[in-house]
Amino acid sequence: MSADPVKPAPFARTRTRARTSLFAAGEPMVWLTGGGLVVAICMIVGLLGLILAQGVGTLWPQPVVEVRLASGARLMGEITRTETYRTGDGRTARRRLFRTGNFELTNEHFTWVNDADVAEESRPEWAMVFERMSWGRFYGRPKSLTVEGTVTADAPAAVWAGFARVHASVSDRREVRERLETEEIGEVNRRIEEARLAVRRAELRDGRDSPAHAAARAHVDAIQAETKAEFDRLRAEIAALNGHNAKFSIRVVTADGRETDLALADIVRAYPANRLSDGARWSLYASRWREFLLDEPREANSEGGVFPAIFGTVVMTLIMSVFVVPFGVMAALYLREYAKAGPVVSAVRISINNLAGVPSIVFGVFGLGFFCYVVGASLDELLFAAKLPNPTYGKGGILWAALTLALMTLPVVIVATEEALSAVPNSMREGSFACGAGKWQTIRRIVLPRAMPGIMTGMILAMARGAGEVAPLMLVGAVKLAPELPIDGILPYVHPERSFMHLGFHIYDLGFQSQNSEAAKPMVFTTTLLLILVIFVLNVLAVQLRTRLRRKFVSAVF
């Protein structure tokens, strides 16, 4: 027995330990994952940086440069771009793009100037920039100022001082006139239109030449007689304001010596670009931003503000969220909490995921075909028959756009909600059932609150995707220029049938549809910056909400 070879004890430590390998420690993985993050950050920072750099500078007032070319021609303007190119004999040369304006005189907004052609370059002290309601910018030296029909100043400094004094009152008159034109005359027109619709309704309901029809027609005549006086009064008022403003003008000399009178009422903003102090420059910059954010666009959208587009984007995104979140949550609840797992549920889930991969333009086509032409047209027939053949809901509008995007972002919300629901521990559900709660009570009191942060994540993703989407909107209601906002002070205050402006579409329009594309290009960046800001703000709000919910309903404790 004792001679037996020594057997190893069952738990003898015989294993030799390998040295920790590089891969086990994961050092390379740290670098790999970190590298991935760096690439992602570089792309994001690069894109944002480009947009920021281009977008922020657009509205900054540039100096005005005057050049005399070798040919003897003179021109004046702001330098917008500089590039080098290869001349015919192989040397590199530089050229600059001048924004020369004065479109009505030169038929051009921009001019390329080769450095080789420049004989003389200067920054004239009294070169002034005029931003106008139409025709774009004007560059020139002030010569004289006419106030109330009489020439009051004829030296540049005096003209500029006089201009600064009277311009505000002229602008006020112009604004009063615009308000009269849009609001007051619009109101009168609405009354007439309303009466006409009543005639049409009576005709549809009671037949032509019925007593109701005759009464409605009589009513139209009465209204027309009544409003005639109103029209005349408004027209006279407008004519008076225009007449008054016509007595204010400024005479300007261009670089090549031509003289023109600019009506003060036509001038939005004017400044002697080369005489500005730093403070004046900043306040000009601020005033341009204010205009950009709060005003309506001018000049085929390449000038003025984008307020209607901001408003349209925000309202459309909010309406979309109002539709997509409840529907998505309900669908996900059924899939996750009620449906029995099986081939049908799997098929549904796969279809939903596939829906996320459908190109957005397809949703646009669907929205146009279904919402506008089927649902909208039926609504028109039911409720707005009197207005036909003019469509009310049977065309693109903010409601249909929101619904189309809601459909498009539905998969995002469903998938995120399903994830959130499946992350709710089963033990919580069991605890609730054990307390005698029913299925719905458990969902409402335990599952939904606990899943709420995840649902919010879905909403954030959907909002970001929806707010930045352009292609489908072109088909279902986003327009280049919407005369009215979807929410305003006219009954019933909310007009879901109206077409609207959208920042994303605005960017597309500026970049690719604008006649004055050089002037529009910088605005593309500024508008993009704004769109990103709007999405960012919407997201921050949603994230804030989510954090609050998360603090309340989910917290990890061990």
- How far apart are alpha carbons 127 and 270 in whole angstroms? 11
At 80 the three-state DSSP class reads strand
Residue 344 in contact with other proteins, rule: CB under 8 A: no
Judge residue 83's burial from the number of C-beta atoms within 10 Å of its C-beta, 0-12 exposed, 13-18 middle, 19 or more buried.
exposed
* Spacing of C-alpha 413 from chain mean position: 23
User: Which tokens is 267 given?
Assistant: 């001038």
Judge residue 320's burial from the number of C-beta atoms within 10 Å of its C-beta, 0-12 exposed, 13-18 middle, 19 or more buried.
buried
- How far apart are alpha carbons 295 and 284 in whole angstroms? 15
Taking the complex as a whole, the smallest distance from the CB of residue 545 to other proteins amounts, in Å, to 16
Neighbouring C-beta atoms of residue 389, cutoff 10 Å: 6
- Alpha helix ranges (H) inside 207-306: 211-246, 278-294
Residue 555 in contact with other proteins, rule: CB under 8 A: yes
List the one residue from 177, 395, 429, 506 that touches other proteins (CB under 8 A). Answer: 429
Residue 437 in contact with other proteins, rule: CB under 8 A: yes
Residue 546 in contact with other proteins, rule: CB under 8 A: no
The answer to whether the Cα torsion of 533, 539, 545, 546 is positive or negative is negative
Residue 323 in contact with other proteins, rule: CB under 8 A: no
Residue 327 in contact with other proteins, rule: CB under 8 A: no
Residue 548 in contact with other proteins, rule: CB under 8 A: no
Residue 19 in contact with other proteins, rule: CB under 8 A: no
Segment near other proteins (CB under 8 A); pick from 50-58, 89-97, 429-437, 520-528? 429-437
Taking the complex as a whole, the smallest distance from the CB of residue 442 to other proteins amounts, in Å, to 9
Between 158 and 554, CB nearer to other proteins: 554
- How far apart are alpha carbons 507 and 499 in whole angstroms? 17
Taking the complex as a whole, the smallest distance from the CB of residue 431 to other proteins amounts, in Å, to 4
At 248 the three-state DSSP class reads coil
**Of residues 445-484, which lie at the interface with other proteins (CB under 8 A)?**
445-446, 449-450
- How far apart are alpha carbons 461 and 41 in whole angstroms? 19
- How far apart are alpha carbons 502 and 469 in whole angstroms? 9
- The residues, any chain, with a CB within 8 Å of residue 522's CB and separated by 6 or more, are 54, 55, 57, 58, 80
Residue 341 in contact with other proteins, rule: CB under 8 A: yes
List the one residue from 432, 526, 527, 528 that touches other proteins (CB under 8 A). Answer: 432
Residue 346 in contact with other proteins, rule: CB under 8 A: no
List the one residue from 49, 359, 369, 438 that touches other proteins (CB under 8 A). Answer: 438
Segment near other proteins (CB under 8 A); pick from 35-43, 50-58, 96-104, 442-450? 442-450
User: Which tokens is 476 given?
Assistant: 């279902």
Between 453 and 486, CB nearer to other proteins: 453
Segment near other proteins (CB under 8 A); pick from 8-16, 106-114, 297-305, 546-554? 546-554
Q: How many residues bind other proteins (CB under 8 A)?
A: 28
- How far apart are alpha carbons 256 and 71 in whole angstroms? 12
Segment near other proteins (CB under 8 A); pick from 262-270, 306-314, 346-354, 428-436? 428-436
Residue 427 in contact with other proteins, rule: CB under 8 A: yes
The answer to whether the Cα torsion of 462, 467, 472, 475 is positive or negative is positive
Give me the residues paired with residue 270 across strands.
130
- The residues, any chain, with a CB within 8 Å of residue 5's CB and separated by 6 or more, are none
The values of phi and psi at residue 129, to 5°, are -105, 130
**Of residues 260-299, which lie at the interface with other proteins (CB under 8 A)?**
none
Segment near other proteins (CB under 8 A); pick from 28-36, 88-96, 261-269, 430-438? 430-438
Residue 431 in contact with other proteins, rule: CB under 8 A: yes
Between 493 and 558, CB nearer to other proteins: 558
Between 495 and 546, CB nearer to other proteins: 546
At 81 the three-state DSSP class reads strand
List the one residue from 134, 353, 441, 544 that touches other proteins (CB under 8 A). Answer: 441
Residue 306 in contact with other proteins, rule: CB under 8 A: no
Taking the complex as a whole, the smallest distance from the CB of residue 428 to other proteins amounts, in Å, to 6
Which DSSP category does 257 fall into? S
The H or E element that residue 95 is part of is strand 92-99
Residue 345 in contact with other proteins, rule: CB under 8 A: no
Between 83 and 430, CB nearer to other proteins: 430
- How far apart are alpha carbons 66 and 47 in whole angstroms? 35
Segment near other proteins (CB under 8 A); pick from 1-9, 165-173, 385-393, 425-433? 425-433
In 269-297, which positions are buried (b, 16+ CB within 10 angstroms) versus exposed (e)?
bbbbbbbeeeeebeebeeebeebbeeebb
Residue 343 in contact with other proteins, rule: CB under 8 A: no
The values of phi and psi at residue 3, to 5°, are -80, -10
Between 107 and 427, CB nearer to other proteins: 427
Residue 513 in contact with other proteins, rule: CB under 8 A: no
Residue 208 in contact with other proteins, rule: CB under 8 A: no
Residue 422 in contact with other proteins, rule: CB under 8 A: no
Of 289, 313, 301, nearest in space to 510 by CA? 301
**Of residues 358-397, which lie at the interface with other proteins (CB under 8 A)?**
none
Which DSSP category does 129 fall into? E
Segment near other proteins (CB under 8 A); pick from 35-43, 192-200, 257-265, 548-556? 548-556
List the one residue from 193, 259, 261, 430 that touches other proteins (CB under 8 A). Answer: 430
Taking the complex as a whole, the smallest distance from the CB of residue 284 to other proteins amounts, in Å, to 53
Residue 96 in contact with other proteins, rule: CB under 8 A: no
Residue 433 in contact with other proteins, rule: CB under 8 A: yes
In 5-23, which positions are buried (b, 16+ CB within 10 angstroms) versus exposed (e)?
eeeeeeeeeeeeeeeeeee
Binding site for other proteins (CB under 8 A): 340-341, 425-438, 441, 445-446, 449-450, 551-555, 557-558
